[in-house]
Structure 1
């Protein structure tokens, strides 16, 4: 009897240890931070297939520099081409996370909204709701609740949310007046009323910079370094960064610049991820989401410069994520149909929350979060 009691007692201890160990592992796998990155109007065609040879050869689009484009981005093999263009996306993100949207193998991601341009797309990404009332880039403050605003209301995250966007309209898209977190967009000054020395330098360069997009949008380099400084100094739990040059150069018909802008965004994401993985607060506790607001034309090659409901394939987009609780499945190759309105709840679930608001919210993407 004594022996049986000792065996029973030992089994109870072992079971308790296993339960505690399991709880520690679960906590370690939970994402405590999330970095959400978008690059405006970047096509799935380049994301999954790399440089488009037809566009690179076209004198209307190659900026009289096809030799540069070929030297930097061309390879006979499609997988090599896409990795030349988006090295981090394919060498790290694809191996450690999940990437959706390669339509050549039937894996489809689309806008749910019917407009296929920026404000409706960003609203859909951030609110999980394809609101048909948001039908203009000049729409005023967003009446819908974003997942960023929702997360900022959570006790463990409140005051630790920040957003940086090259496009000035993000003040309205994210409803900065109501949301309760800083939205630094276009030519807003970095650091608020008390910028540090790095932020002062960024602000001075921003004010004196070349402004190809006038006052509506700054160059991505300023958005990037402003966001990176925020990451280093204020250590947000939730950080959103929106780059814009992929869309601007595409509208201009500058294919070389469009590719360069995408390539630079990929390099900047690597820089952010390298910092994250070498910082105790973020290392192995941070998720990364990468996507776009809309697609562009491709069926008619000359329509690659455009998007909107008149361009029949401009709703075709993509989505990528990696981090704690996100299984490393790589490029998703099964036939499937996902929609942009699923992104918001997916991001909330990655952080361990269920996104709720006074408007419809689509369910998360199945299988992203373990």
Structure 2
């Protein structure tokens, strides 16, 4: 019965899209997250307190040539060159609190599962989503709503470095393929690259039990995108948060830099492929922030208020090229779900979701 109601809602959304799509050029969505990457690094580059600290950097001075400059504007370009060239030029970047441009998560847990639920569903659910345990999400994500629509059914894919993503997306109920944790590419038509990635994932042991290294997540996603041409893609990179928990600022910085390179590869492929070029919006954000002092930056959660502070960015045919947003205001991760549906020319079916980020939609 529940699935019948869900399908009816999705059909109504699809009918709404028929009328609204004329004003929208976005036909595809790439929603990309990176776990626990602070707004401070995004907008100011490597942190002067941490960049050469003996307890946080294994080899003293190892970050300075690549990532340090006294000017924070230059530092951020060194750390995230794609972000501060292409996205700044052609998209929008929110969350520089120096200008009063604030982005927060609205859940009070301030850790990963609640953060991803908020991003993917459009609202916080502190009563039910209050741990990182592997329990199926009772809420319906934007991915699941879309996968129930004829226009998108079977064209929604999800990838993640963290092995909890199949539960966040509720793969069992939604029917969305989720390659996450230490999952492998499966099926009778594996490419040579997928076969090699499967082998390497078996042979290269990362430092964490529940999170694989981001290169596996990225290349599984790229191969599947090239092979299956999905319309809706979610990718959740994970390394920065886990390196931060281990107090490895050097690895945190290098993972952030690599994440930026992955964004460039994704966007270059989008812009070079007829199905995606000028028809795709890419939205980028994080699930939570973290502390600002040496004693607190390794953590997040309700005991660290700064962990509510995040950032987000968007680039695509319906997002005006306004660069770094400097107007004062407060935005929330919970606003992304309804905004994504508006970009696709539809209204989000869950009334609990946050409002549209109007400036992100032309």
Query: 2:360 is paired with a residue of what secondary structure?
Result: coil
Query: 2:201 is paired with a residue of what secondary structure?
Result: helix
Query: 1:367 is paired with a residue of what secondary structure?
Result: helix
Match of 1:345 in 2: 338
What CA distance in whole angstroms lies between the structure 2 residues aligned with 1:28 and 1:280?
20
Match of 2:38 in 1: 43
User: By how many angstroms is 1:66 displaced?
Assistant: 3.4
What CA distance in whole angstroms lies between the structure 2 residues aligned with 1:100 and 1:301?
25
Given that 1:55 and 1:61 are in contact with CA atoms closer than 8 Å, whether structure 2 keeps it comes out as yes
Match for residue 193 of structure 2 among 195, 198, 204: 198
Q: Does 1:67 align with 2:61?
A: yes
Match of 1:137 in 2: 132
Match of 2:148 in 1: 153
Which segments of 5 or more consecutive residues in structure 1 lack a partner in the other structure? 1-25
Q: Does 1:123 align with 2:117?
A: yes
Q: How does 1:243-322 map to 2 (within 5 A)?
A: 243-298=237-292, 300-322=293-315
Match of 1:166 in 2: 161
Deviates more, 1:359-368 or 1:122-131: 359-368
Query: 1:99 is paired with a residue of what secondary structure?
Result: strand
What CA distance in whole angstroms lies between the structure 2 residues aligned with 1:194 and 1:220?
24
Higher Cα radius of gyration: 1
Match of 2:15 in 1: none
Query: 2:307 is paired with a residue of what secondary structure?
Result: coil
Query: 1:109 is paired with a residue of what secondary structure?
Result: strand
Given that 1:29 and 1:285 are in contact with CA atoms closer than 8 Å, whether structure 2 keeps it comes out as no
What CA distance in whole angstroms lies between the structure 2 residues aligned with 1:66 and 1:96?
37
CA deviation vs aligned residue, 1:308-356 (integer Å, no higher than 9, x gap):
0001211100010010111111111011111111111111111222111
What CA distance in whole angstroms lies between the structure 2 residues aligned with 1:346 and 1:75?
36
Match of 2:171 in 1: 176
What CA distance in whole angstroms lies between the structure 2 residues aligned with 1:77 and 1:363?
36
What CA distance in whole angstroms lies between the structure 2 residues aligned with 1:96 and 1:66?
37
Match for residue 27 of structure 2 among 32, 37, 40: 32
TM norm structure 2: 0.91
User: By how many angstroms is 1:42 displaced?
Assistant: 0.2
Q: Does 1:101 align with 2:92?
A: no
Query: 1:303 is paired with a residue of what secondary structure?
Result: coil
CA deviation vs aligned residue, 1:57-88 (integer Å, no higher than 9, x gap):
3211112x231211110112111110100011
User: By how many angstroms is 1:158 displaced?
Assistant: 1.3
Match for residue 332 of structure 1 among 313, 325, 331: 325
Query: 1:45 is paired with a residue of what secondary structure?
Result: helix
RMSD, aligned CA: 1.4
What CA distance in whole angstroms lies between the structure 2 residues aligned with 1:301 and 1:317?
19
Aligned length: 341
User: By how many angstroms is 1:201 displaced?
Assistant: 1.2
CA deviation vs aligned residue, 1:217-249 (integer Å, no higher than 9, x gap):
111100000000011110000111111000010
What CA distance in whole angstroms lies between the structure 1 residues aligned with 2:206 and 2:94?
34
Query: 1:353 is paired with a residue of what secondary structure?
Result: coil
User: By how many angstroms is 1:139 displaced?
Assistant: 5.0
Given that 2:99 and 2:327 are in contact with CA atoms closer than 8 Å, whether structure 1 keeps it comes out as yes
Given that 1:295 and 1:313 are in contact with CA atoms closer than 8 Å, whether structure 2 keeps it comes out as yes
What CA distance in whole angstroms lies between the structure 2 residues aligned with 1:328 and 1:277?
16
What CA distance in whole angstroms lies between the structure 1 residues aligned with 2:349 and 2:208?
36
Match of 1:112 in 2: 106
Match for residue 227 of structure 1 among 221, 226, 230: 221
